[in-house]
Amino acid sequence: MNKIIKSLSIWMIIVAGVFLLQSLISTTLIKLNLTLLLVYYFGLKKGETQGAAVGISVGFLEDTLSGHIIGPGMLGKGLVGILSTYLSSGFFIWTPMIGIVSVFTLTMIDETVVYVSLSLFSQRPAPLQDFVAMAFIKALINAPFGLLIKPEK
């Protein structure tokens, strides 16, 4: 029981640190998406259930802190948690390039899900051209972290 509480408290500190780092580094023009890396890590290392649970939790925190409707972040991050599990299931031979491409692609998927959800159920957050440019920049910033996060053997 103590081991579980210790592990949980360490991960809560890491999540809070990532949220803090993301808010400190983000500018008014570009909001970073570093929390996606946590979801990607859990999906890749811990499996589909934990990846989705962490994705939904992180998405809920993002939605709550953003002041928009609750749901788009949960949907996007939960989807990333589930999809990242299938990257290590043996279909691909893992290379650093697969890691970079997968983080890039999952960042684009998350940004697209959030954008489409907000466009359908609220108001469009930005013109389409601006969204594509910003999502591409966020994906380029996240992509190098794919080198560092590898699946379990």
Q: What's residue 140's pLDDT?
A: 94
Tokens 């890749």 belong to which residue?
Answer: 44
User: How crowded is residue 25: how many other Cβ atoms within 10 Å of its Cβ?
Assistant: 12
Q: What's residue 87's pLDDT?
A: 79
* Spatial distance between the Cα atoms of 26 and 32, rounded to a whole number of angstroms: 6
Decide: pTM greater than 0.95. no
> Tens digits of per-residue pLDDT, 14-66?
888 888 888 778 776 778 888 999 999 999 888 889 989 999 999 998 888 88
* Spatial distance between the Cα atoms of 108 and 42, rounded to a whole number of angstroms: 18
pLDDT above 90 covers a percentage of the chain that reads 41
- Residue 110 confidence (pLDDT) above 90: yes
Side-chain half-sphere CA neighbours of 151 within 13 A: 23
- Residue 91 confidence (pLDDT) above 70: no
CA-closest candidate to residue 32, choices 99, 107, 116, 90? 107
Split at pLDDT 50, 70, 90, the class of 153 is low
Tokens 């609220």 belong to which residue?
Answer: 122
Instruction: Give residue 91's identity as a one-letter amino acid code.
Output: F
